[in-house]
Structure 1
Amino acid sequence: MVSIPHVLSGISIILLTIYGVDVIVGGGGAGEGFLPFDAMTRGIGFGFPPIILSFIAFFMSRNPPYKGLGIMLIITGILIIIGGAISMSSAGESENTARMAGEGGGLIAVGAIIAALGGIKIKKSLSN
């Protein structure tokens, strides 16, 4: 069954995938991918909304047990963790090393929280 939380989680995965592919194609540089944005604009437009949408999807679906939604949240969390790890690994190449490392660590933590929420959703669906 497709519900609003599933749609929100799907949008999150799509936005993170677009973000990741743009970073890979452009090498992380401003306007070098297929999106004409700098790193901050790209992060605000394609990185921040999936985080918010994932939390909304989890809390909207508190009562019904959605195993599929749990899997989607875990995928979203993993994509965010990968983005944080890439951000931390590229911090050594940047003049803003401390800021980039902090942002990468924050992304890894948020990704882990979202993946954990997905695990909780799966566990609840299996117990019902």
Structure 2
Amino acid sequence: MNRYKVFFDGYCVLCTRFAAILLKRIGASVCLIAMQSDRGKEEMGKLGVKSDPDEIILLDDEEVYRGAKAVLFLMREAGGFYKLGSGLIRIMPEWLVNRGYRVVARNRYGWFGKRDTCYLPLQKETPD
């Protein structure tokens, strides 16, 4: 059963690579949902979140994490090098981490590219 729902930008190359890493490292514990998909729009609407935010969103036991906080949480869950990286980043002041996240988020298409079609990860469907 999925422990986490992750809403990500299905057109962003960086975001989709991160989603693929999560699928590989966390597996069945994560439900990946592209924000631009019909399911993404519907579920985000139920959460009261705009349909195409510029940050990753994580839903964990009805708690919502956004942006850098969501990425760091997921890196920790992914374990290994990602957990170490998360720990090192958490040493930095929160305002600096958030600002760094915003800079990457604003420039993600230019720096990493944009897909022509929305990425929908192949994963086993599990009951919510």
Higher helix share: 1
TM-score, normalisation: structure 2: 0.27
Larger Rg: 1
Higher strand share: 2
Larger RCO: Structure 1 or Structure 2 (Cα < 8 Å, ≥ 6 residues apart)? 2
